[in-house]
Amino acid sequence: MLFPMLAIVAIFWFVMIAPQRKEQKKRKAMLEALSKNDEVMTSSGIFGRVANIQDDVVTLQVADSVRLRFHRSAIQNILGEDGEAAEPVAEAKS
């Protein structure tokens, strides 16, 4: 009776929890690597260039003389030179 229960827990771990932890680590590293002049996309779909970073507040320049402030966690992707996500971060599936 104990073996089937342990097998279910192990399968659940390898299918659900381990990949999610890997994505969380990848996202955390991406947000820590965020720097001034990076082209980014927010989780709400706003594109802009990082103008300033102070602690957890990121100021994006979205147009000439238009700056918006976001929490660092609102940054979804850092874009490459071609405007595409350099390495897309998968959304957490519920």
pLDDT digits 0-9 by tens, 41-75: 999 999 999 999 998 999 999 999 999 999 999 99
Number of structural domains in the chain: 1
Q: Is the pLDDT of residue 30 over 80?
A: yes
Q: Which of 84, 47, 82, 83 is nearest to 63 (CA)?
A: 47
Range of the domain at 36: 2-78
Residue 85: inside a domain, yes or no? no
Instruction: Confirm whether 28 is domain-assigned.
Output: yes
In a domain, 92, yes or no: no
Domain-located, residue 40: yes
Task: Tell me if residue 41 falls in helix, strand or coil.
Answer: strand
Cβ-based neighbours of 22, under 8 Å, separated by 6 or more: none
79 DSSP assignment = B
Instruction: Please check whether residue 41 lies inside any domain of the structure.
Output: yes
pTM comes to 0.68
Instruction: Please report, for the chain, how many H helices and E strands are present, in that order.
Output: 2, 5
Which residues is 68 bridged to in the sheet? 60
